[in-house]
Structure 1
Amino acid sequence: MKAVSIRGVVNEANGKPVPDALISLQPSGLVTRTDAHGSFALVNVRPGKYSLHAEKADEHASREVSTDDQVAQITLVLAPNAARTESMEFADKPDFTVAGITDWTAVGGHGSDASLRTSETLARETATLRPAEAVPAPTGDRETELRTTAAASPRSFAANRELGKFCLQNRDYREAVLPLETAFRIDPADKSNEYDLAFAYKEAGDLKRSQEHIRHLLAEENTAELHRLAGDVDEAMGDALSAEREYETAVHLDPSELNQFTWGAELLLHRAIWPAAEVFRKGIAAYPKSPRMLSALGVARFASAQYEEAAQHLCEAAELNPQDPAPYTFLGEIEIASPAPLGCAEQKLARFTQTQPDNARAKYYYAMAILKRQGVPANTADIEYARSLLLKATELDPKLGEAYLQMGILSMDRKEYRQSIDLFTKAVEANPQLGDAHYRRGVSYQRLGLAVQAKEEFEQHDAIERAQAQAVEQKRTRVKQFMVVLQGQSADAK
């Protein structure tokens, strides 16, 4: 079917147009912003029924639209939305439902492909902010003692249980399976041991056995911990829809910080961006001192092209725990990908270099923030300081190809083409997949009149770009997108 466009205008209650309002079309994932006259256009929309949203500050408007309506122009009128600013009562039904899975859609409208790739990468990394289930085990001769005891008493539940728990705490999941299995055979009624066995199976990659034990436990007790583990197994098995259901159930049973974060991270991973932001936002209301909840909301805002809001949340997360590198790393990535410098980013990234002086990426991100704000003409002193930061980054981590790449770009700007070629060569040696280093090395060869070498570099650049684009599409195929239905919207809207 032929794609269509949806056009409209956003006004205040008095009829005044609203510039820079965020427009989102769900469940397509398309986002854009209004222009100076309050107008917007969403192009290449697939035929179907959608929910159209506009928001700015604490005001919001929405309406259902269909590509069959032939509406010349849609008018949305913003109004205060107090319900959206209250903290989430997770015992109540949320105002959205994940109705199914859909293939990857045209998620454009939120910036360049580079920004989209950054958004996808950060969504995956957000999920890793979840803490490990186990804690470090004691050291010394404890393992030898436990193994000796289990060998001497192979039919002892306690001996096998303790050895299995020790292996779990040390993240030796495959080693944990056998003693936990033995303990389960001895006493299948012990629920704690069966839970640990299910967890060990999951971490060891035996997902079906893990699932069998989880279902057995759920038949006897309905706990948030079990539903969260069930969600982890479902996601690992590629059943994202079931995983989302389990995570949501876990939140309703126990709205802990971990459960709320896990649910939001699952929504974000599968491109249900607005619902994920709602879960994180309401989670922050309940847990305002959670750096990872703030970081995750920052990633969700970035995915919605709300760049300043994204940076602000990440800066707040960094302020809560200055020693945690995750908020700074996310902030550095969105600063690079955003179309303009972000308000609080440079200051916080400067502190990153101070709190972690041996972190190469801290130096790299701070340098990129300095370079991002340079105008024409640039501040020579700042440029040289950024160059020194990049050089220090490569000394700390010789495999940080991006830093060599940026130093090469600075040399190109000064028309020092031979030096830039050397730096781009180091970038490629550090990271052969840096296509931009090949391209810019080709340009430098071209400026020196070396056409054959330039042609080879451009061909390598094109080959890398094609391979990376294919890899991205494969990832998008594997990570299915959630189809979200909002309250009042028909479940068959597509």
Structure 2
Amino acid sequence: MRLRSLRGPWVAICLRIALGLVAALMGWPAAMGQSASPLPSDGVSISGAVVDSAGRHIPDVFVRLERSSVPGAVETTTDASGSFEFHSLKVGDYTLIAQKSRLRSHSTSVSATSADEVKQVKLVLEDLSAPVNAMEFADAPNFTVAGVTDWTAVGGHGSDSSLRTSEALTREALTLKPEAEHHSVTPATPNSIESDQAEGRLRAELANDPRSFAANHQLGEFYFRAARYHESIPLFGAAYEINPSDHGNEYDLARALKEVGDFQRAREHIQKLLAAEEVADYHRLAGELDEKLADPLAAVHELEQAVRLDPSEDNYFAWGSELLLHRAVWQAEQVFRKGAGAYPKSARLLTALGTALFASARYDEAAARLCEASDLNPSDSEPYIFMGKIEMAAPDSLACVEQKLARFAQDQPGNSLANYFYAMAVWKRQQQSADPLALQQVETLLTKAVTIDNKCADGYLQLGILRSSQRKYEDAIGLYEKAIEANPQLAEAHYRLGVAYDRTGEKTKAKEEFVLHDEIEKRQAAAIEEQRREVKQFQVLPQGPSVPPAAR
């Protein structure tokens, strides 16, 4: 985890750059004006107005225009009368969508068939974040993932902390567990007396009849539940040889092969099962295997089909996660939103929805969803950690976050991260109000964080920044050194240490730290760019199948 403090006017500049970068990545504007990636030119014009549900025209609304099957988009904002206009477009099919804060229009399709055509469109803003019922789920979203492309929009921006935060949160969101699994008791290990007895009995049954399907399958199932996957595979395999028509056993064999990394054999079995019958679990496993085998396009279609067959919480999460991983952020948001509407008690769907909203620079909405997730189970630390990270990356303090992080720190006083993130939220607010008591609270919370966990490098770093702001450079040096000891790759700690050495006249040491900072930044930027090149980005068309209604 690599988190940065606010740095006065420089932060505003950096955050504007970060917001612009995220906007460019998502194809949605972070500031007024046209996109840097215009669509091909011709003579078509598309113009219109954005109104609310009462028909009132709304100014300063972002309007996005995409041409079907053509990467890129153009964006503009409505003028004081709520009007917008796009000029010099190619003949073709287009999709428009408008957004302002929590309000958004449905996608509207426009077809231009002649070079000098003028099209008029009216977009109606609605609160699409509100929960919808199952009947409405069939109406939207409508999209099709049509292909993949290299992700080049972020090249050369490896130092951008806001984008890095989004990428890190995406990776963490993919590992979120369902409520039952998250709080389940760890199964007994094979060393327990009870487990030993069960294993002995099952092994004896198999020894008595080695050609028994049931004996092979049941011992394989025992090993699978104990996460002894390598031992389960020969048993499931033997049961498959005895009775290849038993789909449950073959599904278990495919799952075990996936767990040991034999993705190709696992996919062969799951494809055989799908040829025999359409089952949602088979499609979800097929999607997971396709992703592992670097075929994300096949994966996302399998996961979509799993939702259509069984709109369960697990399937919504898997489909949305695949979309989010491959930067189809708006589509991921829609899937997570539908899932969260169908399963309002799912903290992981709300947390994933918050992550998708953050990725599209909708910080206030992201915070609201994460706060809701934290209320579902206040003892679960994951939503708090996500909201703490987006609070630090967002341009302004986010409503509800400081209050929830205060609860986190109060309920879990021995949690280093609880104290750290609450401190950073208070500090961010203090910089707006210049409250000395709040600053003292920040110091107390950060000190507590590093006392609980002496490997809390970010806590030492922030304490050092606090001491430097008070011109206590000798104290700051010691804290920066502790941060580096806890995490030698924390580039900002090296930079800050260099500044502190420079302030105390130790120019040689300062230069050494600046050199280390630059080297670390360069290595980390290269590693991040490599990660980005490995993750393909989905190309999404606006027309396609819709999210099915949830099972009731």
Is contact 2:97-2:104 (8 Å) kept?
no
Displacement, 1:70? 11
For 1:283 and 1:405, the matched residues in 2 are separated by 39
Q: Which moved more, 1:200-209 or 1:143-152?
A: 143-152
In the other structure, the counterpart of 1:18 is: 59
Q: Secondary structure at the match of 2:431?
A: coil
C-alpha offsets along residues 142-162 of structure 1, whole Å, 9 cap, x if unaligned? 244234544454333222222
Partner of 2:98: 54
1:476 Cα deviation from its structure 2 partner: 0.9
Which residue pairs with 1:484 in the alignment? Answer: 540
Asked whether the equivalents of residues 55 and 78 of structure 1 are also in contact (C-alpha less than 8 Å), the reply is: no
* Cα shift at 1:189: 2.1
Question: SS at 2:538's partner residue?
Answer: strand
User: Which residue identity is paired with 2:59?
Assistant: V
Q: What is the aligned partner in structure 2 of residue 45 from structure 1? A: none
What are the Cα deviations for residues 412-458 of structure 1, in whole angstroms up to 9, with x where unaligned?
01111111111111111111111100000011011111111111111
Which residue is 2:124 aligned to?
A: 79
Give yes or no for contact 1:29–1:273 (8 Å, CA) kept in 2.
no
Give the corresponding residue for 2:9.
Answer: none
Letter in 2 for 1:437: A
Deviation of the 1:199 alpha carbon: 0.1
Q: Aligned pair in 2 of structure 1 residues 401, 10: CA closer, same or farther (>3 Å)?
A: farther
Matching of residues 267-346 of structure 1 within 5 Å: 267-346=323-402
Shift in Å, 1:296 = 1.1
2:445 counterpart of 1:389? yes
Closer, same or farther: CA 465–84 of 1 in aligned 2, 3 Å: closer
What is the Cα deviation at residue 39 of structure 1?
A: 9.8
Please tell me whether the aligned partners of residues 50 and 83 of structure 2 are also in contact (alpha carbons under 8 angstroms). no
Change in CA separation of 1:259 and 1:376 when aligned onto 2, cut-off 3 Å? closer
Q: Are the structure 2 counterparts of residues 83 and 417 from structure 1 closer, same or farther at C-alpha, using a change threshold of 3 Å?
A: closer
Give aligned pairs, total.
477
Give the TM-score normalised by structure 1: 0.86
Q: Distance in 2 between matches of 1:302 and 1:460?
A: 32
Choose the corresponding residue for 1:357, options 382, 405, 413: 413
**Given the superposition, is the C-alpha separation of residues 62 and 196 from structure 1 closer, same or farther in structure 2, using an over 3 Å criterion?**
closer
State the one-letter code of the partner of 2:270: I
Distance 1:50 1:363, change over 3 A: farther
- CA–CA separation in structure 2 for the residues paired with 1:9 and 1:379: 48
Equivalents in 2 of 1:163, 1:436: separation in Å? 53
Give the alignment partner of residue 190 of structure 1, picking from 246, 252, 263. Answer: 246
Q: Indicate the larger mover: 28-37 or 190-199.
A: 28-37
Q: Which amino acid aligns with 1:125?
A: E
The amino acid across from 2:98 in the alignment is A
Specify the code of the residue in structure 1 equivalent to 2:297.
L
- 1:233 aligns with 289
- Structure 1: how far apart are the matches of 2:280 and 2:256? 18
1:311: how far off? 0.3
Q: Distance in 1 between matches of 2:387 and 2:72?
A: 23
- Secondary structure of 1:374's counterpart equals helix
Superposed CA deviations along residues 255-314 of structure 1, whole A, max 9, x for unmatched, are 111111111111111110111111111112211221111111111111111111100000
Aligned residue number for residue 218 of structure 1: 274
Match of 1:380 among 419, 422, 436: 436
Q: SS where residue 216 of structure 2 aligns? A: helix
Q: Residue 496 of structure 2 corresponds to which residue in structure 1?
A: 440
In the alignment, structure 1 residue 398 sits paired with structure 2 residue 454? yes
2:404 maps to 1:348: yes
User: Is the contact made by 1:34 and 1:40 (CA closer than 8 Å) also made in structure 2?
Assistant: yes
- Determine the structure 2 residue equivalent to 1:492: none
1:177 and 1:410, CA in 2 relative to 1: closer, same or farther beyond 3 A? same
What SS does the aligned partner of 1:53 have?
strand
User: Does 2:484 match 1:428?
Assistant: yes
SS of the counterpart of 1:487? strand
Query: Aligned equivalents of 1:34 and 1:304: distance in 2?
Result: 17
Instruction: Give 3-state SS (helix, strand or coil) of 1:375's partner.
Output: helix
Q: CA RMSD in A?
A: 3.6
Which residue of the other structure, out of 508, 511, 523, is the alignment partner of 1:467? 523
Q: Which amino acid in 2 is paired with 1:405?
A: L
Aligned to 2:230: 174
Identify the residue that residue 126 of structure 1 maps to in structure 2.
Answer: 173
Moved more, 125-134 or 340-349: 125-134
Q: 1:113 maps to what in 2?
A: 160
Please give the per-residue CA displacement for 1:452-484, whole angstroms capped at 9, x wherever unaligned: 111111111111111111111111111111001
Segment of structure 1 superposing worse, 389-398 or 466-475: 389-398
User: Which of 147, 152, 165 in structure 2 is aligned with 1:100?
Assistant: 147
Distance 1:377 1:345, change over 3 A: closer
Q: TM-score, normalised by structure 2?
A: 0.78
Aligned partners of 1:59, 1:201: CA distance in 2, in Å?
44
1:60 aligned partner, one-letter code: S
- Preserved CA contact (<8 Å) 1:22 1:31: no
- What is the rounded CA distance, in whole Å, between the counterparts of 1:129 and 1:398 in structure 2? 27
User: By how many angstroms is 1:52 displaced?
Assistant: 4.5
The amino acid of 1:55's aligned partner reads Q
Once the two structures are TM-superposed, the CA of residue 114 in structure 1 deviates from its matched residue by 1.3
Pick closer, same or farther for the CA change 1:233–1:29 going to 2, 3 Å: farther
Corresponding residue for 1:491? none
> What is the CA–CA distance in structure 1 between the aligned matches of 2:236 and 2:391, rounded to whole Å?
47
Task: After superposition, give the CA deviation of every residue in 1:289-342 in whole Å (9 maximum; x if it has no partner).
Answer: 211111111111111111111000000011011122111111111011111111
Q: 1:465 to 1:28 in 2, by over 3 A?
A: farther
The alignment-based identity, stated in percent, is 50
The alignment partner of 1:343 has SS state of coil
Task: Check whether the contact 1:31–1:304 (CA below 8 A) recurs between aligned residues.
Answer: no
What letter matches 1:127 in structure 2? L
Q: Is the 8 A contact 1:184 1:190 kept in 2?
A: yes
My pick for the range that moved more, 404-413 or 393-402, is 393-402
Residue 27 of structure 2 is matched in structure 1 by none
Cα 1:353–1:23 shift into 2, 3 Å: farther
- Which stretches in structure 2 are left out of the alignment for 5+ residues? 1-34, 40-45, 87-91, 545-552
